[in-house]
Amino acid sequence: MTIQITTRKSTLTDSFKERINKKLRKLDRFFPEEATANVVVSTEKERETVEITIKYRNMIFRSQKTASEMIDALEAVVDSLVKQIVKNKTKLGKRLRDNAFDAALYQDEEIEFQQPEEDFKVVKNKRFSMKPMDVQEAILQMNMLQHAFFMFKDSATGQVGVVYRRSGGDYGLIEPEME
Write the CATH number for 140. Answer: 3.30.505.50
CATH number at residue 60: 3.30.160.100
Same domain for 80 and 44, yes or no, is yes
Q: What percent of the chain has pLDDT over 90?
A: 42
The torsion of the CA quartet 143, 146, 152, 156, rounded to 10 degrees, works out to 0
Same domain for 100 and 166, yes or no, is no
In this prediction, residue 73 carries a pLDDT of 93
Rounded to the nearest integer, the mean pLDDT of the chain is: 82
50 Cβ contact list (under 8 Å, min separation 6): 39, 40, 41, 64, 65, 70, 73, 74, 76, 77
Please check whether residue 39 lies inside any domain of the structure. yes
pLDDT at 117 over 60: no
Please check whether residue 62 lies inside any domain of the structure. yes
Domain boundary among 106, 122, 145: 106
Same domain for 57 and 17, yes or no, is yes
Same domain for 94 and 168, yes or no, is no
Number of domains comprising the chain: 2
| pLDDT band of 122, cuts 50, 70, 90 | confident
CA-angle at 27, arms to 41 and 110, nearest 5°: 100
- Dump strand ranges (E) for the chain: 2-8, 36-44, 47-56, 59-67, 132-133, 149-154, 160-165, 171-174
In this prediction, residue 53 carries a pLDDT of 92
Distance CA 171, CA 167 (A): 9
Same domain for 99 and 11, yes or no, is yes
Please check whether residue 118 lies inside any domain of the structure. no
Please check whether residue 124 lies inside any domain of the structure. no
Q: List the domain range (segments joined by +) for residue 21.
A: 2-106
